[in-house]
Structure 1
Amino acid sequence: MVSVMGLSVLFGAGAGVYAGANLEEIKAYLNNDIKVKVNGQTVQLLDEQGSVVTPITYDGSTYLPARAIASALNVAVDYDAATNSVLFGEKVDGVPVNAVQTFSSAIKDPGLTKYKNKDYQEVIRDTINNGSNFSLYPKEKYQTLYLQAAALGADVQLKVEDDNGRLLKQDTITAADGLKTIEVNISGQERVVVFYKYENRQGLNGIFVPLTTSYYK
């Protein structure tokens, strides 16, 4: 891959933001001759809208758009306005999945949100169906999903797929596992779907997924 001596950040900030920022005007050149290869394969750099973006050459250095490079390398990228920082890969602090979206199927009844005497406050709990699914929306901002789940009785077969049905992770959860943490690489994913399946025996089996301790990084 082309040697990168700098990264330009294209996050669609408004003109008002630039007006008050600590910026210095320069004269640079769009360099259409630069090609980028990842693992030997040429890739086309695209912005968030899917439009082609071109490397910039300035003072002998080549600058590539941060989001396009992150996408090509399958690394999550986000922007923290509070610290004016571009974030690549995992974040330092985990973000609970229920802080990112609202779950219509979530249970908040204190009588049903406890597992081994700990109250998780908001959970996905299913003891009725033999299996079902729910969606998570990381919106391409996170590198890894740490999904916690417990089997209530019989083993639970669990898998995580992307929007195109591509398998990202598959695992089996047993009652002996307790609350098991399943790590899934979700870089570049707008949405992932969690499928689960278990043997239903008159409500004695099921799945328990705490939404407050399942998190993104």
Structure 2
Amino acid sequence: MKKKWFVGIIGLTMVVSMGAGAYAASNLTEIKAYLNHDIKVKVDGKPVQLQDEQGSVVIPITYKGTTYLPVRAVSNALDVAVAYDSETSSVLLGEKTDGVSIADGFYSMYHTKDPSKTSYKGKDYKDVYFDNTDGSRSSNFALNPKKKYQKLYLQVAAVGKDIEEISVHDSDTDTELLQTTVSIADGLKTIEVDIGGVDQLWVNAGVKDGGGIFIPLTTSYYK
């Protein structure tokens, strides 16, 4: 429902927050508009308060009979990723064309670039998460998409023994976004997760004694 609502509201002209330097551009035209306190916004029938990235309330603007809603506030309400490309002056909504590796800023004690640990089935992935310690355990790590992306494509391989459960949660709301299994027979399995509007993710895998988990960071990515 939210995505359908979003498609409908895209028909309205929207504005997005940009850096101060953008306002010095020569292609801007000064106008006289009005903050419209009468406009109410509902998502799936439920009232929502539009807010900017800092959590401050934002008010719709009316100009010559057209209502303008701030892109970031609407995208947050609908859990749709939004970003601004200053090089092309483009507002980017939803899933991006090009993937962004999760390797940037990734932190874990099992993060390694050791060539003896970064290969799977003859291919060297250079930069991986590889947990092959002893004992049955929870193997977990955090990711920080920071509400910039719509999808996570996580590649996972079970080593030694099947992984009976791997889950991805929204850390802020403790909402489970996906739960699945990864068997040795799956090889390098790609897990697709909807992460629109999510600031931080928590990935957890139940790994058996004698088993391990292999995640190539360079080929796991956000879009």
Q: Give matches, 1:44-55, under 5 Å.
A: 44-55=49-60
Conserved? CA contact 1:127–1:200, under 8 Å: no
Measure the CA separation in 1 of the matches of 2:209 and 2:129.
Answer: 16
Question: Structure 2 length normalisation: TM-score?
Answer: 0.90
1:137 to 141, 144, 161: 144
2:12 to 5, 10, 20: 5
Find the residue that maps to 1:145 and give its secondary structure.
Answer: strand
Find the residue that maps to 1:98 and give its secondary structure.
Answer: coil
Matching of residue 35 in structure 1 with residue 40 in structure 2: yes
Partner residue in 2 for 1:102: 106
Partner residue in 1 for 2:166: 158
Amino acid at match of 2:174: G
Q: CA deviation at 1:153?
A: 1.9
Cα deviations across residues 83-127 of structure 1 (Å, max 9, x unaligned)? 11110000001111113x132431101111000100000111111
Q: CA deviation at 1:149?
A: 0.3
Cα deviations across residues 54-86 of structure 1 (Å, max 9, x unaligned)? 000001100000001111111111111111111
Unaligned runs of 5+ in 1: none
Give the number of equivalent residue pairs.
Answer: 211
Measure the CA separation in 2 of the matches of 1:5 and 1:104.
Answer: 43
Q: CA deviation at 1:213?
A: 0.3
Measure the CA separation in 2 of the matches of 1:19 and 1:83.
Answer: 15
Partner residue in 1 for 2:198: 189
Compared with structure 1, are the counterparts of its residues 172 and 76 closer, same or farther at alpha carbon in structure 2 (3 Å cutoff)? same
1:85 to 70, 90, 96: 90
Measure the CA separation in 2 of the matches of 1:167 and 1:173.
Answer: 17
Q: CA deviation at 1:207?
A: 0.5
Measure the CA separation in 1 of the matches of 2:35 and 2:86.
Answer: 27
Unaligned runs of 5+ in 2: none
Amino acid at match of 2:168: V
Compared with structure 1, are the counterparts of its residues 195 and 104 closer, same or farther at alpha carbon in structure 2 (3 Å cutoff)? closer
Q: Give matches, 1:113-152, under 5 Å.
A: 113-129=118-134, 130-152=137-159
Partner residue in 2 for 1:20: 25
Partner residue in 1 for 2:217: 211
